[in-house]
Every structure is written in C-alpha cells, then in structure tokens.
Structure 1
Amino acid sequence: MIRFERVSVRYEGTERPTLSGVDLTVPEGELVLLVGPSGVGKSTLLGTVSGLVPHFTGGLLSGRVTVGGRDTRTHKPRELADLVGTVGQDPLAHFVTDTVEDELAYGMESLGLAPDVMRRRVEETLDLLGLAELRDRPIATLSGGQRQRVAIGSVLTPHPKVLVLDEPTSALDPAAAEEVLAVLQRLVHDLGTTVLMAEHRLERVVQYADQVVLLPAPGAPPVMGPPAEVMRVSPVRPPVAELGLLAGWDPLPLSVRDARRGAGGLRERLADASPPEAASVPEPAAPPEASAMPGAPAPVVAARPRTGRFARLLGRGAVARAAPVADPVTRVDGLGVRRGRVEALRRVTLTVAPGETVALMGRNGAGKSTLLGALVGMIEPTAGSVRVGGLAPARTDPRAMVRRVGLVPQEPRDLLYADTVAAECAAADRDAGAAEGTCRALVSELLPGVGDDTHPRDLSEGQRLALALALVLTGRPPLLLLDEPTRGLDYAAKARLVGVLRGLAAEGHAIVLATHDVELAAELAHRVVILADGEVVADGPTGRVVVSSPAFAPQTAKILAPQEWLTVSQVRGALEAGA
C-alpha cells in the first residue's frame, strides 16, 4: 500500500539530510509503528506519505513515495485526501471549524459526499471515539486530549484507506488512549485500513503493531521487522521490554499479559527485597493553622462528595488527603473555578512543600490544566483561595509572579517567539536576570545536538517542549508547573528530564506536573493527586495511589503485582544488590 524507494529529504540550511536511503514497503491492512529517538525524522517520513513533505514543508525530496499507486511528489495533499487521512502532533493546526460536529463533517464536505452519508458517518465516529456528549461543544473549550480525539475523528469520517498518525495518544489519558487504539485495531482488522503511526509512548501501542520501523539516528536507514525483534535492538523501548531484557525472558514480552506469564521466577527473586522508599520530602513542624485546614491530617485516599444511597458508605463530602506541611510553596483552599455553565474545579484543597514533586492525574477534562492555570494566575478563582509564596497569583502583577512560579504549557509554541534557539536563550537569560549562557546550558542538557541557529519551528514537538522547559527553568522559580511535560519526548529525553527535575527538587523547588504518563509519575513523583470532574478523589504517596489503580498503575507494577515495584530501575537496583 505504501512504498518508499531510496527516499531522502533535505531541508534548506541543514548540514545533512533528515531522511536518507529509506527503502521499505508497508503492506495493506497492517498497523505499522514508527519508532526512534526525538529528531530522527519520524514526522518527516510521515509527511512524505500524506504529501505534506515537500508540498507544504518545503525541502528537497529525492526518490519516490507511492501510496495506493499515487506518487506523492506529483499529487498534492488535497489530491490524496480521499486516500490518506493525517493527524499531526498539533491538532489545533488542522482544525478549520468551530464545533466538534462541524469538524467531523468538514472533510466529507470537501469530498462532496451526500448529506445522508455524512450524517451516518458523523454519528458512527462520535460513538467510536466517545465524543457524543461533546458534539455541540466549541473546539476552543475542549481539553488537549479531547481535541486529539476530534482530530482523529475528522480524518476517520471520509473512510481513508491509509491513516497516518503522529503521536495519536500523547495527549490522552490511559483509558481514552485504549479507546483510540481499540478503534484503530478495528479499522485494521475489520476494514483492512493501513495505519502508519509514530508514537513515543511505546508501552501503550507496541503490542498492537504488526510490524515496527525503527529510525535509529538522523539520516540512518530504517530497520523494519516484527516488534519483539526490533525492540531488542532499538534505543527506545517500553518498560515491559526493558524488564524482559533485564530478566532474560525469551521471547521478549510486549504486553503486561505476556510478561506476567513469565514473571514468576523474577517475583521469587524479589520476594525478600523491598522497593526503595520515595525520595524524602522536607517536613518541618506544621504551622499553627495547619490543624484547621480543610482535609488535615488524614493519610490517603478518598471519596468525592456524593449524594444518594452510597453516601452513608463512602462518606458525604469527605476527602482524605496527605497531611500538610509547614511553609508550603503553594496553598490551595476550597478552590472553585466556573467557566460559563461548566464547573471546572470545585472544593479543591492542596498544599505543596519545598522539594516536593506532585503529579496531577485524571481523565481528560478532569481539571488538571485548569488547576495549573489557577496556580500561575492565568485563571481567577470563583471560590476559595490560591496562594503562591503568600501572593494571590491572579491578583498580582505578572512581573512579580514570574520569579515565584513558572508554567510550561501543553503548547510550547506559546512561549517561543524568536527566530533562533540562541535568541530564545538570550532573551530568557535577560528576563530571568541569569548569567549569560544559563539557558543555553539547560538546552544542551535537554536537547543535545541542537544548534544555536536552529529555528524553533524546525524542531519536533518534543524538542520544542524541551526548549520551552529550558526557558522557564532559567528563572529557577520556587514553584515549577508542567502541563504534559513528556508529550513528544522519547525515553532518553524523558530520562534527562527526570534527572533535571530531580535536581531541582533536591534544591528545594516544588514541582507540580499534570500528566497522563503513568511511567513518569512512578519515576518522579512523591505524591499523586487524582482529579475527577473537577474534584480531588485521591491524594497520597505515589506507590499507594497508583498501585491500587488499574488505570494509573505503571507497567512494572502490573507485571510484578502484588509486590509494589514501580519502575524497572527499582528492580535493576534490587537485582544488582543481590536479590
């Protein structure tokens, strides 16, 4: 269905080609997963299939890419629209209408389909992707994950023979990601649709792939083969494969189910060992008013306020939380936020201590980004209070808040204005009053190999996010907020990010990150706070909260349960210590 013949792509002003010598065939009716480190050309390769490269992006394409017999060099994207459906990393860049239902219908209108066909396909897609309740919602009011599902739905309605997806689950919560992947499986197996997909969160998708294409390095020829074989040689691997290699399992497992079948011996070796405790958080004496704070001082997990016949069993309005500590960097008491008729947050109480890392988790639309917006002062509370460093963020001059709190948003382009990486870094140093070269050093740590003259728009989504993080970290704010910080990052880049954030926490910075990445939370967070429908439903130590949650448990915990190991690095440490 898709054929690459000696394909190379070089962009103007670059020293080497982004792709070189790509020669492979993607069969019809298969789900093929494209993997590799950030910046190796995965998005460029996907763009050659849809015709976006070179017709939209520019650059020099040599060789030949054919899709269903059509040469993408001689067919522009609109001439491939009936054959290829594409969803990029940034769904906002693709939306052309204002509401969900209109966006789902737009592609079919462009192809001139009959109204009755359009109506039926819109309804089918709304049901497939769980969007029925959002059909009349303005796209601007949707969460990032909801927008991602709408973007996927908008290319499904014309029933293309080929789907090209770039990071399709990156902004989705675990349950929503499973729904999308189930839809893709149905399209492949029931309708014979060919799916070519790039994804960094391999723990979610690798078990569904028929074949894997590995781009090992920029300009290097790809490696294509069965998923288990490619994962053995790939520089990027999901935790289940890392654990399998560590334990010497053969065949290499790709799913939790397969790994559990072979994990009995490993569980026996670990039976007398204990997972290390989470990094300690400073706990000075509680302030005098602590005992009067809502929710103090019960230990962990909790029920949301309820009414009806379950109220007597679960407790009406009682939400247990981790005990507050003295002198928190931020204090949230009874926070409520209303947006029109939607109550985005209600009765949220939270404290974060210096040196503490807190992961906000929950379904798409649960209120995680809204809570971060209230902490940084972008959103005015409609009830309760927010204090950061003793100040109310929404009522304080932003110039005074920038030294106290920094936010890395879901869309990193919101922070990027200059024409080069060097100019962005110089501006960040000036704004933060930091020594010259401070930001550049952070960029080099998070994005090794990215040159000073590189334009931010030429970076991948994950590279732009890392650059935005470096800009915010330059000011070293006491409170650092991150919204989906691993979106678009490969495992190596994620490991570098974890190292940077751990260092900041060790220096006393408080970190709050909203994330769907359960592996990141397991690796980094001292506490996990789960939101649902704008309310806190759990707040406690990471191990206790995530291990008990089927949705938010990391792969290692699922494989080795009932033992409470969270990460492969914990298991490796125990084995090296003689377990």
Structure 2
Amino acid sequence: MIRFEDVSVTYEGAAEPTVRGVDLAVPEGELVLLVGPSGVGKSTLLGTVSGLVPHFTGGTLRGRVTVAGRDTRTHKPRELADVVGTVGQDPLSHFVTDTVEDELAYGMESLGLSPDVMRRRVEETLDLLGLADLRDRPIATLSGGQQQRVAIGSVLTPHPEVLVLDEPTSALDPAAAEEVLAVLQRLVHDLGTTVLMAEHRLERVVQYADQVLLLAAPGEAPVLGDPASLMAVSPVYPPVVGLGRLAGWSPLPLTVRDARRGAGALRERLAVTSAGPHDRAPHDRGETPAARPATRWSGLRGRTKTDAPRAAAARVAGLAVRRGRVEALRRVDLTVAAGETVALMGRNGAGKSTLLSTLVGLLEPAAGSVRVDGAVPHRTGPRELIRHVGLVPQEPRDLLYADTVAAECAAADHDAAADPGTCRALVSELLPGITDDTHPRDLSEGQRLTLALAVVLTARPPLLLLDEPTRGLDYAAKARLVTLLRGLAAEGHAIVLATHDVELAAELAHRVAILADGEIVADGPTPEIVVSSPSFAPQTTKILAPQKWLTVTEVREALDAGDGAA
C-alpha cells in the first residue's frame, strides 16, 4: 500500500537530512506505529505519505514515495485526498468549517459524494467517536480533546484507504483515547485500512501495532519490525516495557494483561522489601505543604500530621463559570498550597481548561470567589498578574509571536524584568540543541509547547498553570519537565496542571482532583485517587495490583533498597 524507496528529506538551510535511508514497504491493512524521540523526523516521514512534504513544507525530497500506486512527488495532497486521510498534531489548523457536522461532511463534499452517502457516513462517525451530542456545536467552543475527535472524524468520513495520524490521542482523556483506538482497530481489521501513526504516549497504543517503525536518532535509517523486538532496543518505551526490562521478562510484554501474568515473582520480591509502596516517598516527589493534614497516603518524606500548613497560593470557593449558555463550572472548591503540585483530571469537556482560565483571569466567575497569591485574577491587570500566576495553554501559538527563539526569550526576559539570558537558559535545559535563530513555527508541537513553558517560567510566578503540558513530548523531554517542575515546587511554587497523562500525575502530583460535568467529584492524595480508578491508574499500578506501586522508578528504588539490605 505504501512504498518508500531510498527516501530522504532535507529542509532548506539544514546541514543534514531530517530523515534518510527510508527503504521499506507498509502492507495493506496494517497499523504501523512510528516510534522515536522528538526531532527524529516522524512528522516529516508522515508528511511524505500525505504529500504535504515537500509540496507545502518545502525542502528537497529524494527517492520515491508511492501510496496505492500514486507517486507523492507528482501528486499533490488534494490529488491524494481520496486515498489518504491526514490528521496533524494541531487540529485547529485542520478545520475549514464552523460546526461539527459541517466539518465531518466537508471532505465528502470535496470528493462529490451523494447527499445520501454523506448523511449516512456522518451519522456513523458521530456514533463511532461519541460526537452525537456535539453535532451542532461551533468548533471554537469545544475542548481540545473534543476538537481532536472531530479532526479524526473528518478524515474518517471519506473512507480513505490510508490514515496518517500524528499524535492522535495526545489531547484525549483515557476513555476517549480507547474509543478512538478501538475505531482504528475496526478500520484495520474489518475494512483493511492502512494506518500510519506517530504517538508519544506509547502506553496507549503500542499493544495495537502490527509493526513498529523505529527512528532511533536523527538522520538514522528507520527500522521496521516486530513491536516487542523493537521495544527491547528502543530509546523510548512505555512503563510496561520499562517494568519488563527491569524484571528481565522475556518475551517482553506490551500489554498490562501479559505483564500481570508474569509479575508474580516481582510482586513477591517487592512484598519483602524493607519499604512498601507509599511507606516511602514517591521518587523525588518531595514534601508537599498541603493545606490540610497529611495522611499515610501522602507519600511525603519526613512530614507528620502535626506539621504546620503553608499559606495558600490559590483558593477557589463556590466557583461557577458560564461560557455562553453552558455552565462550565459549578460549586467548585479548591485550595492549592505553596509548593504543592495538583493534577486536574477528567474527561474532555469536564471543565479543566475553564478552571485554569479562571485562575489566570481570562474568565470572570458567575458566582463564588477566586484568589491567587492574594490577587483577584479577573480584576488584576496583565502586567501585575504575571507576578502572581502564569499559564501555559494547550496551544503554544497563543504565547509565541516572535520570529526566532532568541527573540522570544529576549521578550520574555523584558516582560518579566528578569536578567538577560534567563529564558534562554530554561530553553537550553528543556530543549537542548535548539538554536537561537530557529523559528518557533519550525519546532514540533512538543517543542513549541516547551518554549512557551520557558517563556512563562521566566517570570517565576508563585502559581504555575499548565494545560496538557506533556502533549507532544517524548519520554526524555517529559522526564526533563518533571525534574524542572519538582525543582519549582521545592522552591515553593504551586503548580496546577490539567492533564490526561496518568503517568505524569503518578510521577509528579501530590494531589489529584477529578472533574466531571463542571464539578470536582474527587480530590485527594495521588495514590488514594488513582489506585482506585480503572481509568486513571498508571500501568505499574495495574500490573502490580493489589500492591499499590505507582511508577517504575518507585519499583526500581525499592528493589535496590531490598538488594542493599540483603
């Protein structure tokens, strides 16, 4: 179905090709997962299949890419539209109409399908992706995850032979991601659709892959092969693989079910270690100055129930927020202490982003009160508010407007009255290898998000808000982000992050608050909340239950401690 013949792509001004030596074939009716660190060329390789590279991106394509017999060098994307459906990292750049139903129909209209066929396929797709209740909604009013589902649906309705998906589940909650992946499975197995997908959250998708295309380093020729074999050598891998590597399991498991079958001996070793789960601190999570008494679940180092709480960095009481005719939040109470990290979780559209927007003053409460570091956000001017709170939004373009990374950093230093070079130092820490003259639009989605984070952190606000901060980040970049955020929390910064990344919450958050339909339905220490949730439990917890371990790092440290004691 897809054939790469000695393909390389070199962008203008680049000293080396972004991808090179691609010589392989993707058969019909298979789901192939592209795996590799950020910046190795996964998006570029996907773009060569849809024709976006080089027709829209520029650069030089050498070799030949054919899809269903059509050469992408001589067929522009519009001439491949009936064969290839593409969803990029940014769903907003994909939309051409205003409402959900119109967007689902647009691609079929362009292909000249009959109204009867269009109506039937729209209804099928609305049901498949759980979008029926949103059919008449303006796309601009949807949450990021809802927009992602609409973007995926819009390329499903024309029934293409090939689907090219770049981070398709990055903005979806766990349940919605499972629904989308189940749909892709049906397309592959029942209709013979070929799916080529890049995804950093491998814990969600690797078990569904028929083959893995591993891009281990920039410029290296990719390797196509069996998922388990390539996961054994891949520089990026999900927690289930990390646990399998740690325990020495062979064959290497890719699913929680397979890992549980082989985890008996590991559970026995962990049961006799000197420290059980949550009798010791989660890896470097550090002390949390929670504004209420700690419990045995806190996972805190050296804290007792008599420790005095610190002042609240944010306090929300009886909050209600309306967005048009929709009551987005109601009866929300939340207190975040200085130095505490709180993860907001819940399905798409639950109100997570609305709560963050209210905390940063973008929305005015309809009822209740909001105070951030002593300020009332919606009544405080931007120049003053930046000293109290900073928000890294889902869409980094909202913060990035300069032509180069250096200019963005200089502007951030000026706005925050920080020492020159402060922002650039943060960028170097989070995005090593990015040069000063790089244009933000030439960065990947994850890299732009990280640059926006550095811009906000330059002001060192007492309260830091992050909306889906790991979207588009590989595991190494996520680890650097976790280290940075832990350091900020240790210095007394309060952090609130809205996330669908259960592994991030397990690794970083002191507390988890779960929202549903605009209300907080659960709020407590991270282990207490996520261990009991089938949707929000991390892979390590699912594998080692009934023991309550959260991360591979916790398990590794416990085993090392047990070996040392022995």
Instruction: Please tell me whether the aligned partners of residues 375 and 388 of structure 2 are also in contact (alpha carbons under 8 angstroms).
Output: no
Stretch of structure 1 that moved more, 12-21 or 512-521 = 12-21
From 372, 383, 387, give the equivalent of 1:403: 387
Q: 1:418-429 maps to which residues of 2 (within 5 A)?
A: 418-429=402-413
Q: Secondary structure at the match of 1:233?
A: coil
CA distance 1:7–1:396, shift in 2 (3 Å)? same
CA distance in 2, matches of 1:299, 1:399: 39
Q: Kindly indicate whether residue 87 of structure 2 is the aligned counterpart of residue 87 of structure 1.
A: yes
Note the C-alpha offset of 1:349. 0.5
Q: Secondary structure at the match of 1:407?
A: strand
Q: Secondary structure at the match of 2:562?
A: coil
Correspondence for 2:493: 509
Q: Secondary structure at the match of 2:65?
A: strand
From 351, 363, 366, give the equivalent of 1:367: 351
From 347, 350, 354, give the equivalent of 2:331: 347
CA distance 1:140–1:300, shift in 2 (3 Å)? farther
Q: Kindly indicate whether residue 539 of structure 2 is the aligned counterpart of residue 535 of structure 1.
A: no
Correspondence for 1:334: 318
Instruction: Please tell me whether the aligned partners of residues 324 and 351 of structure 1 are also in contact (alpha carbons under 8 angstroms).
Output: no
CA distance in 2, matches of 1:496, 1:171: 20
CA distance 1:216–1:78, shift in 2 (3 Å)? same
CA distance in 2, matches of 1:505, 1:210: 41
Note the C-alpha offset of 1:272. 2.7
CA distance in 2, matches of 1:213, 1:324: 53
The aligned amino acid for 1:81 is A
Q: Kindly indicate whether residue 419 of structure 2 is the aligned counterpart of residue 415 of structure 1.
A: no
CA distance in 2, matches of 1:298, 1:325: 10
Deviation digits for residues 152-173 of structure 1 (CA, Å, limit 9, x no counterpart): 0000000000000000000000
Q: Kindly indicate whether residue 117 of structure 2 is the aligned counterpart of residue 117 of structure 1.
A: yes
Instruction: Please tell me whether the aligned partners of residues 507 and 551 of structure 2 are also in contact (alpha carbons under 8 angstroms).
Output: yes
Q: Secondary structure at the match of 1:180?
A: helix
CA distance in 2, matches of 1:118, 1:300: 57
Q: 1:515-526 maps to which residues of 2 (within 5 A)?
A: 515-526=499-510
Correspondence for 2:142: 142
Deviation digits for residues 534-562 of structure 1 (CA, Å, limit 9, x no counterpart): 00000000001000000000000000011
CA distance 1:282–1:523, shift in 2 (3 Å)? closer
Q: Kindly indicate whether residue 261 of structure 2 is the aligned counterpart of residue 277 of structure 1.
A: no
Number of corresponding residues? 548
- Quick one: percent identity of the two aligned structures? 82
Correspondence for 1:251: 251
CA distance 1:300–1:149, shift in 2 (3 Å)? farther
CA distance in 2, matches of 1:324, 1:142: 42
Instruction: Please tell me whether the aligned partners of residues 299 and 540 of structure 1 are also in contact (alpha carbons under 8 angstroms).
Output: no
CA distance in 2, matches of 1:513, 1:335: 18
CA distance in 2, matches of 1:30, 1:49: 15
Q: Secondary structure at the match of 2:355?
A: helix
The aligned amino acid for 1:401 is L
Instruction: Please tell me whether the aligned partners of residues 468 and 498 of structure 2 are also in contact (alpha carbons under 8 angstroms).
Output: yes
Q: Secondary structure at the match of 1:151?
A: helix
Correspondence for 1:194: 194
CA distance in 1, matches of 2:59, 2:5: 18
CA distance in 2, matches of 1:413, 1:282: 33
Q: Kindly indicate whether residue 11 of structure 2 is the aligned counterpart of residue 11 of structure 1.
A: yes
Q: Secondary structure at the match of 1:163?
A: strand
Note the C-alpha offset of 1:217. 1.1
CA distance in 2, matches of 1:324, 1:364: 36
Instruction: Please tell me whether the aligned partners of residues 286 and 490 of structure 2 are also in contact (alpha carbons under 8 angstroms).
Output: no
CA distance in 2, matches of 1:104, 1:376: 34
Q: 1:42-441 maps to which residues of 2 (within 5 A)?
A: 42-273=42-273, 274-275=276-277, 276-278=280-282, 279-281=285-287, 283=289, 325-441=309-425
From 450, 453, 462, give the equivalent of 2:437: 453
The aligned amino acid for 1:529 is A
Q: Secondary structure at the match of 1:578?
A: helix
Correspondence for 2:303: none
Deviation digits for residues 443-492 of structure 1 (CA, Å, limit 9, x no counterpart): 11110111111111000000101111111111111000000000000000
Query: RMSD value over aligned CA atoms?
Result: 1.6
CA distance in 2, matches of 1:135, 1:378: 27
Note the C-alpha offset of 1:228. 0.3
CA distance in 2, matches of 1:242, 1:158: 39
CA distance 1:165–1:324, shift in 2 (3 Å)? farther
CA distance in 1, matches of 2:123, 2:464: 42
CA distance in 2, matches of 1:513, 1:329: 14
In structure 2, the gaps of 5 or more residues are: 298-306
Correspondence for 2:25: 25
Correspondence for 2:459: 475
The aligned amino acid for 2:125 is T
The aligned amino acid for 2:60 is L
Correspondence for 2:484: 500
Note the C-alpha offset of 1:528. 0.2
Instruction: Please tell me whether the aligned partners of residues 289 and 338 of structure 2 are also in contact (alpha carbons under 8 angstroms).
Output: no
CA distance in 1, matches of 2:128, 2:309: 45
Q: Secondary structure at the match of 1:96?
A: coil
CA distance 1:384–1:299, shift in 2 (3 Å)? farther
Deviation digits for residues 98-129 of structure 1 (CA, Å, limit 9, x no counterpart): 00000000000000000000000000000100
When normalised by structure 1's length, the TM-score is 0.93
Instruction: Please tell me whether the aligned partners of residues 300 and 540 of structure 1 are also in contact (alpha carbons under 8 angstroms).
Output: no
Note the C-alpha offset of 1:330. 0.6
CA distance in 1, matches of 2:308, 2:94: 44
CA distance in 1, matches of 2:350, 2:296: 20
Q: Secondary structure at the match of 2:478?
A: helix
